[in-house]
């Protein structure tokens, strides 16, 4: 793991003071506990696209995994341009200053190692989405929306994390 650079863009908020070696706990909790995120991709021609993804976060490795069907625009875009961003947020409709969100940016890579894929799928089912069936056969029959039959697993190595609450911002860049 490389040196971490931090920057506070607004001051007085979440980004004012935090350890240089880890994200603030509130940011980690949002990433870990949110059921889904919005993945932004871009085609080679520059056409943007966003899609909802179910994901699993490994904070010690600063990695996010998710599955996508080969029949999607997202899948095609990932091969044309691996630079992506995932936004995870919470909205407070009564007090916009309490809106809180995180954007993770980095390069996406397809995972082909079946053992790694099985481990991620197990963590997804056992540690995050507790109400889903644990039997892979039952999962494939009833929950193809989570793990499509033509699924491919992707890994995002997080390069930059930006977060906000109301008008305050913070950011950490992970050097290679």
Q: Which residue has the higher pLDDT, 135 or 159?
A: 159
Quick: pLDDT tens for 58-87: 888 889 999 888 889 999 999 899 999 999
Average pLDDT, the chain: 79
What stretch of H or E contains 53?
strand 48-53
Report the pLDDT averaged over residues 124-129: 72
Alpha helix positions (H), the chain: 25-33, 73-80, 114-123, 136-142
Q: What is the pTM of this model?
A: 0.77
Query: Could you give the CA distance from residue 174 to residue 176 in angstroms, rounded to a whole number?
Result: 6
Region of residue 62 (phi > 0: left; psi between -120 and 50: alpha; otherwise: beta): left
Quick: pLDDT tens for 137-174: 565 555 555 666 677 899 999 999 999 988 888 888 87
Please enumerate in sequence order all residues whose Cβ is within 8 A of that of 23, keeping only pairs 6 or more positions apart, or say none: 31, 59, 161, 163, 172
Query: Could you give the CA distance from residue 3 to residue 12 in angstroms, rounded to a whole number?
Result: 24
Residue whose pair of structure tokens reads 């880890």 in the numeric block: 22
pLDDT at residue 86, as a whole number? 97
Q: Is the pLDDT of residue 21 over 60?
A: no
pLDDT at residue 134, as a whole number? 59
| 4-174: in CATH 2.30.110.10 | yes
3 state SS of 146: coil
């Amino acid at each position: 793991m490389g040196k971490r650079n931090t920057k506070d863009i607004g001051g007085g908020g979440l980004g004012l003071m935090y350890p240089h070696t880890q994200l603030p706990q509130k940011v980690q909790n949002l990433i870990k506990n949110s059921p889904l995120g919005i993945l932004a991709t871009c085609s080679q021609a520059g056409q943007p696209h966003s899609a909802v993804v179910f994901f699993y976060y490994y904070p010690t490795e600063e990695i996010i995994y998710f599955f996508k069907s080969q029949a999607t625009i997202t899948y095609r875009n990932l091969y044309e341009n691996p630079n992506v961003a995932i936004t995870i947020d919470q909205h407070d409709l009564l007090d916009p200053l309490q809106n809180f969100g995180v954007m993770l940016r980095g390069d996406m890579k397809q995972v082909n190692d079946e053992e790694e894929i099985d481990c991620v799928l197990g963590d997804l089912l056992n540690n995050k989405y507790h109400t889903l069936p644990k039997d892979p056969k039952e999962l494939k029959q009833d929950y193809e929306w989570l793990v499509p039959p033509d699924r491919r697993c992707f890994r995002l190595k997080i390069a930059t994390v930006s977060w906000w609450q109301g008008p305050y911002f913070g950011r950490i860049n992970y050097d290679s």
